[in-house]
Chain A
Amino acid sequence: MKDLKKIEIFTPRKEDVSKFNSVMGYIKKKIVSKSGEVMGEVKDVLFTAKGVKGIIGGKLLSKFYIDSAYFNSVDGKIMLSIDPVMLLVGKDVFDADGRLLGKVIDVVRKSKLNNFKSIIVKRKFYSKGVEIPKSEIKTSKKNIILNKVYE
């Protein structure tokens, strides 16, 4: 934290206080996933007496919490060590035969960890969603390619 020269410091610690991060400095920082996608910006910082535990990020109307265990770096942007599973939403899904099944509209998560059980895919707004288990996903990078043929 800068500007500490102007204030009185009371601390029993030997560490350099000016090297501590300011919570205010986190606000509005961009959050970048492992693959480099900007997920949103920091809206709030959650901490206990022992330090920062995580951040609440947001983009438009969606909000999410990312634990500090998934931080790679917080100096410039918040660089994550994971691609959160919610980033799958909106990706195109192709079956093994190259058939476009639709877009991911939801992710069924297993737990609060960054893993999932299945994805829900819809082709059209009015069509019924299809649940596809994680085991049928071959690639999930820019879009999703399955290892199974869907009729």
Chain B
Amino acid sequence: MNKMAARKKTITSDDILGKDAVDLDGEILGVTTKLHIDKDSKKLVGITIDSGFMKPDLFIGINYIKNFGIDSVFLGKIPVSKYVGLQVLDSKGKLIGKVKKVHSKRNKVDSIEISHGLISIHDIAEIGVSVILKERYKIKESK
């Protein structure tokens, strides 16, 4: 590989910092504010994302970064913590509560915690703008 080709493949911190971090859903999680470099290996190990006012910063490991794009950094996974705060509706649209905590296994949602208790992923019909539960969740609750 000649020097020109190698230079084309190299990017600088300016190409990453200040760019939007976009997850697999296309959601902009925040702005990249820091690069984390391993002192010994001198390799990039991750980035910090500023998620906005009153929200904690997110650290994304290098293995979860898909590519450094022109206007954004694409992530290869969906951080489950982004679901915290979403409204939880039953199958009829009634507000049950808000997501307080997300329990995950291998970065996949296993259950969500609301003020009523835990809701298993098997009782969830959809996680999008809100969390919508399956009809059977209500049957369980009434027992």
Contact = CB atoms under 8 A, between A and B. Distances in A.
Contacts of B89: 32, 36, 77
Nearest to A36: B130
A30 B129 contact: no
B127 to A, nearest CB: 8
A139 B93 contact: no
Contact of B68 (A75, A77, A98, A141): A98
A97 B27 contact: no
Interface string B73-97: 1100000000000110111111000
Interface in A133-148: 139-145
B24 interface: yes
Main secondary structure of the interface of A (DSSP, over half): loop
B70 interface: yes
Interface in B89-143: 89-94, 126, 128-132, 135
B26 A98 contact: no
A92 B68 contact: no
Contacts of B87: 36
Contacts of A99: 69-71
Contacts, number: 97
Interface residues of A, number: 29
Contacts of B49: none
A59 B91 CA distance: 22
Interface in B42-85: 67-74
A75 B92 CA distance: 6
B70 A98 contact: yes
Contacts of A100: 20, 71-72
B126 A35 contact: yes
Contacts of B70: 97-99
16 contacts: A32-B130, A32-B132, A35-B129, A35-B130, A36-B129, A36-B132, A37-B128, A37-B130, A73-B135, A76-B92, A97-B67, A98-B67, A98-B71, A100-B71, A145-B22, A145-B26
Given A32-B132, A92-B26, A139-B24, 4 more contacts: A32-B130, A79-B93, A99-B71, A100-B71
